[in-house]
């Protein structure tokens, strides 16, 4: 049985071998890569990516990355393609076939049918002398020195390199399209990442109501306002001007400081100069401000006027963190 040192060495050797082969890809980014990017940018259809075995799994991941970064893509399993799925391919599409050897039986059967459609065929292939490479219009070379598998059999280094080539392609397309974080959010509306990019303060605070008291109102009114809206605070407002905020903490400090609270007003216990945020700001920015100042809520404004309160729990419920 291997000791811990041997096990660690296996892991480190795997990292080093795969990293070396990924870095070697930089020497193979040639005119074909540029032409593939330019062709996809001008494409009226979609990118169809196909593969078999582990290459098929990598194809699915590349499809997902392309779709999320502005390039419409569809996965087509190589085995299924010759049993009816070729109907996926439309005239304006581009096809990418992924294979380490480029000589698998499924690829040899599939490629002639792909050529019949007259679509542009791109090979992500680890053998430039293979059948797939010979038939392809463009080659993205993913040749490796060896697999990380001790028997040099299980797809390890080869799939890592394929994945890296797919990422390079997706990022190049994303960059050329000037695909921004706002664009990215359109494709990720349901996830935490997307919400960081599109969810606004007003989207949350508008549901909270407007806890407010005048500066001369008594402590009972203050407590009722805080309790009613369950935001841990109420705003002190006079002639539409924000004078201050009263939080649960201010109430506790008042009770510790004063024996008789019957004559106290909101003005007496409020904290002046409350932290504010515009309702059009991103909700994630509100979270950053709360963390910066170690507070649980911010006063929301709209064109400088009081528009509500956003509480840290509003943000946590959205799963932004």
What residue ranges in 5-65 does DSSP mark as E strands?
47-51
Distances (CA, A) of 76 to 104, 107, 258, 268, 284: 16, 13, 74, 70, 38
Contacts 24+ apart (CB under 8 A), 284-288: 284/195, 284/196, 284/199, 284/315, 284/320, 285/201, 286/201, 286/310, 286/315, 287/312, 287/315, 287/320, 287/321
Q: 117: closest CA among 80, 91, 85?
A: 91
Q: Which residues contact 220 (CB under 8 A, 6 or more apart)?
A: none
Are residues 202 and 307 in contact, defined by beta-carbon separation less than 8 angstroms?
Answer: yes
Whether 83 has a binding-site annotation, put simply, is no
Q: How many helices (H) and strands (E) does the chain have?
A: 15, 12
What is the dihedral angle through the alpha carbons of 221, 225, 228, 234, rounded to the nearest 10 degrees?
A: -160
Place of tokens 């515009």: 278
Torsion angles phi and psi, residue 151, rounded to 5: -95, 0
| Cα Rg of the chain, angstroms | 30
Where is the binding site, in residues? Answer: 77
Where is the binding site for Zn(2+), in residues? Answer: 77
């Amino acid at each position: 049985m291997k000791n811990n040192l041997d096990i660690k060495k296996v892991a480190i050797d795997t990292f080093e071998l795969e990293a070396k082969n990924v870095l070697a890809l930089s020497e193979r980014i040639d005119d074909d890569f540029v032409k593939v990017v330019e062709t996809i940018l001008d494409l009226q259809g979609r990118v169809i990516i196909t593969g078999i075995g582990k290459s098929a799994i990598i194809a699915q991941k590349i499809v997902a990355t392309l779709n999320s970064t502005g390039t419409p893509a569809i996965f087509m399993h190589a085995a299924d393609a010759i049993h009816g799925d070729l109907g996926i391919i439309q005239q304006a599409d581009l096809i990418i076939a992924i294979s380490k050897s480029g000589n698998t039986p499924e690829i040899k059967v599939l490629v002639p049918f792909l050529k019949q459609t007259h679509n542009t065929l791109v090979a992500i292939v680890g053998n430039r002398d293979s059948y797939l490479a010979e038939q392809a219009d463009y080659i993205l070379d993913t040749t490796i020195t060896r697999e990380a598998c001790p028997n040099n059999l299980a797809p390890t280094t080869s799939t890592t390199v394929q994945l890296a080539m797919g990422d390079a392609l997706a990022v190049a397309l994303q960059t050329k399209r000037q695909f921004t974080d706002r664009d990215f959010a359109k494709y990720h509306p349901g996830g935490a990442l997307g919400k960081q990019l599109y969810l606004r303060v007003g989207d949350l605070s508008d549901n909270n109501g407007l806890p407010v008291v005048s500066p001369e109102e008594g402590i009972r009114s203050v407590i009722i306002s805080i309790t009613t809206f369950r935001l841990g605070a109420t705003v002190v407002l006079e002639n539409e001007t924000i004078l201050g905020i009263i939080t649960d903490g201010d109430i506790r400090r008042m009770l510790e400081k004063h024996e008789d609270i019957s004559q106290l007003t909101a003005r007496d216990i409020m904290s002046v100069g409350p932290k504010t945020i515009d309702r059009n700001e991103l909700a994630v920015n509100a979270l950053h401000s709360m963390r910066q100042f170690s507070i649980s809520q911010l006063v929301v404004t709209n064109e400088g006027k009081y528009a509500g309160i956003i509480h840290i729990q509003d943000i946590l419920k959205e799963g932004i963190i």
